[in-house]
Amino acid sequence: VTDALLLARLQFGFTAGGHYLFVVLTLGLAAILSIMQTRALFGSAQRRAERMTMVRFWGQLYVINYGMGIVTGLVMELQFGLTWPGLSHAASEVFGIPLAIESLVAFFLESTLLGLWIFGWNRIPPLAHAALMWGITLTAYASVVFILIANGFLQSPAGVRVDGEQIRMADLGAFATNPSGLLAVPHIVFGSLLAGGAVMAGLSAARLRSRRRRGPEETAMFERSLKWGFTTFCIAIVPVAAFGATQWGILQPAKFAAWQGDAAALASINADAVARFGPGDYLPPQGWVQSAALLMLGCWGIMAVSAAVALTAAIRRGWQVLNGSRRLQTLLAYMVPLPFIAVLSGWVFREAGRQPWVIHEMLSTESAVSQAGYGGRLFSFAAFTLVFALLVLANWWLILRHVRRSPAEVSLGAEVMAWT
């Protein structure tokens, strides 16, 4: 691995990982908010107002996080061209298709609808406003599908053929239904719900646990939020693992062997690759693959046990136990970082495990990396890594700050009363 390649990989890894920390929470909260805002359309005036307060409170947290997700996403869009021009060079007419359609269909609408949602509280009737949130959620999850089709192509190309230096489309249907992309979709969806649920439940629990003074309405809102968040968390915890497991069957052989630590299999895979592609090392970094997978599974185990403990208590002694027990609240509060660690290690496992290929057995990272000068590369690595780190820190500082405040101080949709 040359220095320039290492820098490029680190830059892409850090920025993609940083971006995903925002994305996963955006996706999870969007789905919860859609249902919550729909619920807020029904019931007595008082119930509607209570639920709407909750939507606005978590909605503002969602918007803070979304804003940072967009700015990091803008960087990601140009990262491929900046860092891996060889990828566009060899495969733009294949790889570019899902990415372009994602921008055109999903992102364009999502962003426009989000603008209407944020600024339209006092201008758009409640039913249409709730429908906007559903539109945002649907387009956000549509993005997931297109991005994973693109990623699935890199993992295990399907429906394409190699024509000299070019990779060309052979069968659009096979390309679009590539299982290594689509099988990851439900895993990502439930992972996002898990993160959204953990954040909502954990931060509410932390607020309820805190001895700081708060009004009865505030307490009631956090109790309701805890219930919403914890329910989502419990719904997602088993499917996320089940849909993760469905992908084991289609892992690249080298990734699977690296995870198992099967030296004999690794040696034979490498020998086979040397025979096909010439001398070189065709194996992924085993330590990274194994520790990332273990970290992901470990986080899931802790979350599953905690969910089971809290759920058992809630079933045996009623939901009220979550509002009263400081120990359960502490447990839930500690869940907040776990889904984020798990999804990042999941991505490291997925991406590090297919090295040295950017397109599996078609294009190596080494031949795809940008030829821009080392100084420029170093500057861009340092700048983007620093900026993304600052954004992640600022985002969480603002989120925690937001949660410590009272729902009465929410600025999102502050004129909402015009409609209720």
Partner 1 sequence: MDLMAFALMALFAAGASVFAGADIGAAIRTAAFKSNEQRRIALAGFGTLCLSHEVWIVVTAALVNVFFARIEEDLFTRAYPWVVLLLLGWLARNVGLWLRGRVDDAIWRWLCDRALIGGARVFAASWGAVLAYASGGPWWAVAANAVALPLLLSRHGNAYLRLRLASGPRPIKPRPFLIGALLALGAAGAGLAVIATTGVLAALALIVSDDMTRQNRDLPALAYTALAVLSSLLPAVAGVAWQSSASAALAPVGVVAVCMLPLIVAAQALTWWLFRHRVSEPAYL
Residues in contact with partner 1 by the rule CB under 8 A? 63-64, 67-68, 70-72, 74-75, 77-78, 80-82, 85, 88-89, 92-94, 96-97, 99-105, 107-109, 111-116, 118-120, 123-124, 168-169, 172, 370-373, 376, 379-380, 383-384, 387, 391, 394, 398, 401-402, 411-414
Residues 6+ apart with CB under 8 A from 95: 80, 87, 88, 150, 153, 154, 359
- In the bound state with partner 1, the residue whose beta carbon lies nearer, of 115 and 280, is 115
Q: 304, exposed or middle or buried, with CB in 10 Å at 0-12, 13-18, 19+?
A: middle
Residues 6+ apart with CB under 8 A from 398: 64
Contact 207, 399 (CB under 8 A): no
- In the bound state with partner 1, the residue whose beta carbon lies nearer, of 60 and 355, is 60
- In the bound state with partner 1, the residue whose beta carbon lies nearer, of 300 and 388, is 388
Q: Report, in Å, the least distance between residue 15 CB and partner 1.
A: 10
Beta bridge partners of 359: 363
CA distance 337 to 342: 9
Q: Report, in Å, the least distance between residue 92 CB and partner 1.
A: 3
Q: Report, in Å, the least distance between residue 176 CB and partner 1.
A: 9
- In the bound state with partner 1, the residue whose beta carbon lies nearer, of 142 and 302, is 142
Query: ∠ CA 184-23-138 to the nearest 5 degrees?
Result: 70
- In the bound state with partner 1, the residue whose beta carbon lies nearer, of 120 and 298, is 120
- In the bound state with partner 1, the residue whose beta carbon lies nearer, of 122 and 420, is 122
For residue 356, say if its preceding peptide bond is cis, omega within 30 degrees of 0.
yes
Q: Report, in Å, the least distance between residue 244 CB and partner 1.
A: 30
Contact 111, 70 (CB under 8 A): yes
Beta bridge partners of 167: 162
Distances (CA, A) of 27 to 47, 100, 243, 342: 26, 20, 17, 16
Q: Report, in Å, the least distance between residue 374 CB and partner 1.
A: 11
Token pair listed for 364: 């190596």
Q: Report, in Å, the least distance between residue 410 CB and partner 1.
A: 10
CA distance 284 to 351: 9
Q: Report, in Å, the least distance between residue 283 CB and partner 1.
A: 29
- In the bound state with partner 1, the residue whose beta carbon lies nearer, of 75 and 265, is 75
